[in-house]
Chain A
Amino acid sequence: MTTKALRQKHTMDATQDRLEIEAEAAQWLVRINAPDVSEADIVALTEWLEASDAHVSAFDTAERIWQQAEDMAPPVADVIDIGAYAARPKTRSLPSRWPMWSAAGLAAATIAALIFVGLPKPATLYETQKGEQRDITLADGTRLHLNSATRLAVRLQPGARRLTLEDGEVALEVVHDPKRPLSLQAGDQTITDIGTEFVVLRHGGDLRVTVREGEVAMNSLSAPAASRTTLQAGQQATHTQGHDGVTVTSVDTKAAYMWQTGRAIYRDQALSEVVSDLNRYMKKPLVVDARSGQLKVSAVLKLESDAAIVNALEAFLPVDAQELPDRIELHYRK
Chain B
Amino acid sequence: MRAEPSPPLLTTYLEKRTMILRYFMARTRDATIAEDILQELYLKIAALPEGYDVENETAFLFRTAQNIWLNMIRGKTRALSREGQWLDTSTHSVGMETVADTPSAETVVGDRQQVALMQAAVKELPDKTQRIFRLHKFDGLNQAEVAAKIGMSKSSVEKHLSSALKHLMARLNPRSGP
The residues of A with any CB-CB pair to B shorter than 8 Å are 1, 17-19, 22-23, 25-27, 29-39, 42-43, 45-47, 49-50, 53, 56-70, 72-74, 96, 98, 100-102, 104-119, 158-160, 162, 178, 185, 188, 194, 215, 217, 220-226, 228, 230, 232
Contact = CB atoms under 8 A, between A and B. Distances in A.
Contacts of B119: 72
A65 B151 CA distance: 27
Contact of A60 (B84, B94, B101, B103): B94
A101 B103 contact: yes
Contacts of B168: 65, 69
A23 B166 CA distance: 5
A105 B102 contact: yes
Interface in B129-169: 133, 137-138, 140, 142-144, 154-155, 158-159, 161-163, 165-166, 168-169
B20 A42 contact: yes
Interface string B49-76: 1001000101100110011001101111
B39 interface: yes
A110 B1 contact: no
Given A38-B58, A69-B168, A109 B77 contact: yes
Contacts, number: 246
Interface residues of B, number: 86
Nearest to A118: B111
Contact of B170 (A22, A27, A30, A32): A22
Contacts of B159: 1
Nearest to B167: A26
Interface string B71-106: 101111111111110010011011111110111000
Contact of B115 (A27, A61, A72, A113): A72
Q: 7 smallest A-B Cβ distances: which pairs?
A: A221-B79, A225-B39, A49-B26, A26-B165, A26-B166, A30-B162, A110-B96
B129 to A, nearest CB: 12
A98 B90 CA distance: 20
